[in-house]
Amino acid sequence: MVYCSKCGKQMGDGATFCSSCGAPLQNQNIYGAPKMNQPRKAGLGIAALVLGIVGVIAWIIPIIGLPVGIVALVLGILGLKKSSKGMSIAGIVLGVICLVLTIINGAIGAYQGYHGEAWFQKGSNSVEGKNSDDYTSEKQETNVFTLRDSNGNILMTGGIKSTNAIMLDNGNGVKKAAVEITFDDEAAKTFAEITTNNIGNTIGMYLNDDMIANPTVVEAITGGECQIEFDTYEEAQLVSEKLEKCK
């Protein structure tokens, strides 16, 4: 629609003369009807809001939360000019919250991973995640102490009350490393019977299927204690720790 600049009459777009005052329209400034403000599309705002909600839920996994939070923030900023301001602002806020939580979670995970305390490191069965102490601990948990005769027959199983790595003095001023074993009451009686019946014979002391000593019984041992000698104190201490797991 156009308007005559002389009288202000509204006419059709193809008119050449004003139908009211007859003035020619060719040399007049033609004024078009003002355009109404077009409503903004809500696409960007909705997308920012949805991604912001997803990010707040998924921040616990940094590899997901970080990109989702960034996209929600960018779409929210673009939506301020081209889309619904309300949803865009909500998307921006949720995107920022997602990024903050994701960064904090990532920092905590990195710290725990550095110290070997992260959740994905707990209970790891990989070879790289274990050291020699770990394997020693696993073996200790399944240790079995037995006494066997020269033919390999098991005479007694378990019964250890306590162990201790010590240094024995043989009376000549030379000390020898040893493990002192104390049996519980029932095992002490069994041990006394075994040593009584096997004087002059060898009794093998086994940790699982490994012989740790094969002494010859000289006399009956009725006190519920015995000593096993080793070459070094470190070896005696290691065996003592393993025998502790045989209680």
User: Mean pLDDT lowest for which of 130-144, 152-166, 180-194, 228-242?
Assistant: 130-144
Residues 6+ apart with CB under 8 A from 246: 143, 144, 145, 158, 160, 207
Which two tokens mark 184? 């519980």
Q: Model confidence over 96-131: pLDDT tens digits?
A: 887 888 788 778 877 776 665 555 555 544 444 445
Residues 6+ apart with CB under 8 A from 67: none
Residues 6+ apart with CB under 8 A from 147: 154, 155, 156, 157, 191, 194, 203, 204, 205, 206
Which two tokens mark 219? 């006399």
Nearest to 75 by CA among 58, 63, 57, 91: 91
- CATH architecture of the domain 134-244 equals 2-Layer Sandwich (3.30)
H runs (alpha helix) in the chain = 43-58, 62-82, 85-114, 132-141, 185-197, 233-244
Q: Model confidence over 21-55: pLDDT tens digits?
A: 766 766 555 444 455 455 555 677 677 778 778 77
Q: Model confidence over 10-28: pLDDT tens digits?
A: 766 666 767 777 667 665 5
Cβ atoms of 97 and 56 closer than 8 Å: yes
The whole-angstrom separation of Cα 169 and Cα 175 is: 4
In the predicted model, is pLDDT for residue 162 greater than 50?
yes
Nearest to 151 by CA among 208, 198, 219, 220: 198
Which two tokens mark 108? 């905590």
Angle, CA of 159, 160 and 162, to the nearest 5°: 155
Query: Which sequence spans correspond to the domains of the chain?
Result: 1-34, 43-117, 134-244
